[in-house]
Amino acid sequence: MNQITTEMTDQQQLEKGIGLFREGQIDEALAIFRPLAARHPESERVFTALGVALRKKKDFNAAVFAHRRALALAPGNKAVMGNLRNALNDGGREAEALELGEALLEREPGNVDYVRSHMKTLRGLRRNAEAVALGDAYEDAHGLDHQLRLERAMSHLYLENYEEGFRDYESRFYTSEINLREEVEERRWKGEPLEGRHVVIFKEQGFGDNVWFARFIPLLSRKCARITLLMPRPLFRLMQGLEGVDEVLPTEDGLPECDILMPMCSVPHAAGFRQGDPIPPSSRLTIPDDSRERGRRMAARFAKRFRIGMIWTGSLTFKANHLRAVTPEQFFPLGELPGVQLISLYKGKAIEDLKNCGSEGLIFDAGSHDRDFADAAGMIENLDLLITTDTGVVHVAASMGKPVWNLTKYDSFWVYGDGPDTRWYPSMKLYVQDRPGDWDGVFDRVRADLEHLLLARGTPA
């Protein structure tokens, strides 16, 4: 009788935890699921709930652990297989997800969720042509699906199919990827002619994306009567004086009068950029005098050393940041080389990583007190080299023509491809993982190349 009562109570607890999860109270749900898993090691439902909550917390390896247990308890269960595949995809373990995705598609080839997820797996394995073919086959048989087109866009762009890729990327506005205010969506460019129109371009996606995409504005300006650029404070000073722009206004001042609103990442599609067209040069960025002087002043103390800027993580809100981020400690072997001074350009909450790794006084923190990207650019002017994971500052430095060693995950941003260089940024050298998750191999190559560079320059100890 006591055993039955306990099981009923645990069932109620499980339902309570599921309810908390659905309300977004993930930690509270996990506090219920974890002891349930310990008490019910043979319950597929408990381990599934635990795995789903762990994935939501971005504890992907633990989520895989839980879903593998659930699948062992319910072999062949499609929902459990799908959960495991999703956790593997999100954790950068696409090679392990591949077989699961193929098995699910064999059972339900017309299931659009299975198709989209398998396209993501293929993209993570750099099998982009296969991902495009899979998306094409589904659309031919079943019609338009915007989320699928968004997946296909990334593969098209990686393959340098720019016309198709930027066209597909417009599907982001019909998914949960982008949520615009109603007043913005009503006036957003949706393919109408631009001749004689006043277009306001506004920030979209990350800061670095806007620096990169701005190079297409001069092409767009040939089609419009007037272009206004609406930029938030972190980019406002840096983006003054861009070619093709008639005025730059701060986002905080609200929407100005205009004919059309255009998100920055729609500019190449609106400009008609396609494969085979000349690569537009990087935008000419503006560095105000006070930012230049600030950078010179901070860098002067290291005048006798080889000054290397570093960043170990990007925006913590970016859903795939865990795959591109490293730790400050991984830069230590570079800082140990004779004559080197490491300078952090990071600004954000993860600065605590730098403070907690024992590097204060060893790595100079130049980024914490930046007012904006113009200040960062002022410091970059005084560096010998920037070594960083793929972040917004990469685009600023490379647009300035500074030497940049960009450390990227295996399935890097489509602009970069497989490396070791990119037509989009002549001063950039790419260090792409040889296999997913292999940062040690990347840093081994970086250290070896840095040793050769220092030797060639005769940098003193």
Q: Domain ranges for the chain, please list them.
A: 2-145, 182-271, 289-457
Taking residues 295-315, what's their average pLDDT?
Answer: 93
**Distance separating alpha carbons of residues 354 and 186, to the nearest angstrom:** 44
pLDDT above 90 covers a percentage of the chain that reads: 85
How many helical (H) and strand (E) elements, i.e. helices and strands, does the chain have?
22, 10
Residues 6+ apart with CB under 8 A from 189: 199, 260, 261, 262, 266, 270
**Distance separating alpha carbons of residues 181 and 325, to the nearest angstrom:** 31
* Tens digit of each residue's pLDDT (9 = 90 or more) over 209-246: 999 999 999 999 999 999 999 999 999 999 999 999 99
What's the pLDDT score for residue 354? 85
What's the pLDDT score for residue 2? 45
With 90 as the cut, is the pLDDT of residue 165 above it? yes
What's the pLDDT band for 33 if we cut at 50, 70, 90?
A: very high
With 70 as the cut, is the pLDDT of residue 302 above it? yes
Q: Between 5 and 370, name the one with better pLDDT.
A: 370
Side-chain half-sphere exposure of 50, counting CA atoms within 13 A: 26
Q: Tokens 């995809």, residue?
A: 89
CA distances in angstroms from 118 to 85, 110, 111, 146, listed in the order given: 9, 12, 11, 16
Closest CA to 460 of 335, 338, 341: 338
* Enclosing H/E stretch for 75: none
What's the pLDDT band for 5 if we cut at 50, 70, 90?
A: very low
What's the pLDDT band for 178 if we cut at 50, 70, 90?
A: confident
What's the pLDDT score for residue 4? 42
Amino acid at 173: F
pLDDT above 70 covers a percentage of the chain that reads: 98
What's the pLDDT score for residue 131? 98
**CATH number for region 2-145:** 1.25.40.10
Highest mean pLDDT among 92-101, 318-327, 354-363: 92-101
Mean per-residue pLDDT over the chain, rounded: 93
Give the helix ranges, DSSP H, for 23-127: 26-39, 44-56, 60-73, 78-90, 94-107, 112-124
400 neighbors 308 (Cβ within 8 angstroms): no
289-457: CATH homologous superfamily? Glycogen Phosphorylase B; (3.40.50.2000)
What's the pLDDT score for residue 459? 65
Full-model pTM: 0.90
279 neighbors 215 (Cβ within 8 angstroms): no
**Distance separating alpha carbons of residues 342 and 328, to the nearest angstrom:** 10
* Enclosing H/E stretch for 417: none
Token pair recorded at residue 444: 């081994």
Taking residues 129-149, what's their average pLDDT?
Answer: 97
Provide the phi-psi class of 411: left if phi over 0, else alpha when psi is between -120 and 50, else beta.
Answer: beta
What's the pLDDT score for residue 303? 95
**Distance separating alpha carbons of residues 70 and 330, to the nearest angstrom:** 35
Taking residues 53-77, what's their average pLDDT?
Answer: 96
Which of 26-35, 58-67, 280-289, 309-318 has the lowest average pLDDT?
A: 309-318
What's the pLDDT band for 460 if we cut at 50, 70, 90?
A: low
With 60 as the cut, is the pLDDT of residue 6 above it? no
Taking residues 254-261, what's their average pLDDT?
Answer: 94
Amino acid at 195: E
Taking residues 80-104, what's their average pLDDT?
Answer: 95
What's the pLDDT score for residue 324? 81
Side-chain half-sphere exposure of 113, counting CA atoms within 13 A: 9
